[in-house]
A and B are shown apart, each in its own frame.
Chain A
Amino acid sequence: MLDLTAIRADFPILQRTIRGKPLIYLDNAATTQRPRSVLETLQTFYTTYNANIHRSPHLLGQEATELYEQAHANVARFIGAEDEREIVFLRNTTEAVNLVGVSLLRPESGPLQLRPGDEVVITVMEHHSNLVPWQALCRQAGLTLRVADLREDGTLDLEQFAALLGPRTRLVACTHVSNVLGTINPVAEIGRMAHRVGALFFVDGAQSVPHMPVSVREIGCDFLAFSGHKMLAPMGIGVLYGRRELLEQMSPFLYGGDMIADVTLEGATWNELPWKFEAGTADVAAGIALGGAEDFRSGRRLLGAIDYLEALGMEEVRAHEQALLERLLEGLKGMPRLHIYGPEEIERRGAVVSFHVEGANPYLVAQLLDDEGIAVRAGGHCAHPLARRLGIPGTVRVSPYLYNTPEEIDQFLAVLEEIVRRRLP
């Protein structure tokens, strides 16, 4: 059981009021809030350790480098990666998808290069970040993009999925948890299907890694991407995990400083992993605020978002969210005019519930909730093809996190009921 009073005291923003009403923040699938410890780490980095990494000969630069590298190692541990060299810090999940796609199109990736006629398989429930890059890259390089469909209950149709795979399939990219439906996809099984036909398997973990224990070893994926800002870390820091032997063969994504070993006027050789993929000055402070690190000279610990999550325990975070989901779904089911999307079973859902109020614009519903201090998201949720597939203009999306309370869910349900029964046309 999470100690919600103590947890909420760690998040300064939760003290805010919105138009005089206590903020009820239920838009965590868009971005989460940050605990004081993470904010303090940003401050401590800039007040005590700020220097550029991997190039400064002074102690300050050495300390910054050590802290940043340790943050990579902590992220590796958090997702069960064997080697910190498999962890690339980027801006976000979107950048990670672009890295993999662009790199795999380049001849420098050798045998891994995707060539005209090759096929990439995704699903209809992908976020735009795991869809638009593949669309563009397939168009540019003459690849074929195939899209796996849903069943009525909002889960993937695995039989149809299997039928899309074949000898020309080179890459399967799939979200772990749908940011609209909440569906948890059986990624380990999909990974085995992809590997059986010799394809690489990319997992979008943006909605799973923040909410449940996720292990790349257990999934057996080749790549996993996620964003720090959806898991208590600052905006602008994200992670790509890639199997080492693949990253070693792959072409760099961006070219410039820090990603090189040596440069002549004629050309350059690349730095070792993961720096080959981290061109230019990175957001070092945000990286440390994600992974956490310790100054082994002074014993000072810079707490990262991962430290916060590990101290709570990911199993406990998941259990807490499931209890909230159960309460939420139960309450929504009793309301008139409401269509709830995604699987009915709590076990098959991440921390996302989307619904549509018949005849009502989802933006209007969200606005009326906002009037009462309740923050939710409305619209297509960066997954427009999915809304089209469901045949609706969009949904209202409620996404709780570890600091939300059962009382907040009850308050949300009471306000929504009032809106649905009395205030909507």
Chain B
Amino acid sequence: MTKNTFSLKGRTILVTGASSGIGREVAITLHHFGATLILNARNVGRLKEVQTQIGEDKCTTVVGDLTNNDTIAKIIEACVLLDGIVHAAGVMKLLPFKFITPEALSEMMNVNFASPIHLTLELVKKRKIAKESSIVVITSISGSVVGSKANAMYAASKGALSGMIKSMAIDLAKSKIRINEIAPGMIRTEGAIIEFENTVSNEEILKDIKKYPLGTYGSPEDVANGCVYLLADASRWVTGTKLVIDGGFTVQ
């Protein structure tokens, strides 16, 4: 009988940013593939909803902001031994380059880049990540592959993650810990839609959608399915790489 190399049964996986958008869909999908979840986010109400949907027996939560050391400490405590991590926590903020301030840049880099790295570091140092486990970082085509308008800070944070992942893959390979990134194109999530609808006209959004060869923005499921592959045995020989999930945008 052939083993199901996409099964996540018996695995414990930490997902950050799990209360909404991509993180939420990742958590639910990983559960469908058999994983036990530890979820982190800032919004206690929305996180509880996700936990209820998955079932408390298969899902614990740690509420808190990842830029806060206390939250990182609480997550370390909640983890016994992880078989995987999905870093889906992040923010978006459009700001034309001329208007970037040191404070805005610092904040973006802190939330999107430093926090997931810091969290991973602590988990590795405290030996909370098992051998042969797998880490997935959600980056973006913006910064990791291409540039985008009024989006230099966000792109910087994602580009920094992309660079870091390549070297981390080499350092962590000794412990057989794999790390890869998923670089999505524009995904329809509350976070992205709110930021865009507040700043960009509907006309611009429709024009943007036409730039995607497959004709639509992506959905959180598209990214979640990529996570399943990268977390499962099916990708056991895959590390330091980037899975681009973008409807064909960057191949033009």
A and B bound?
no
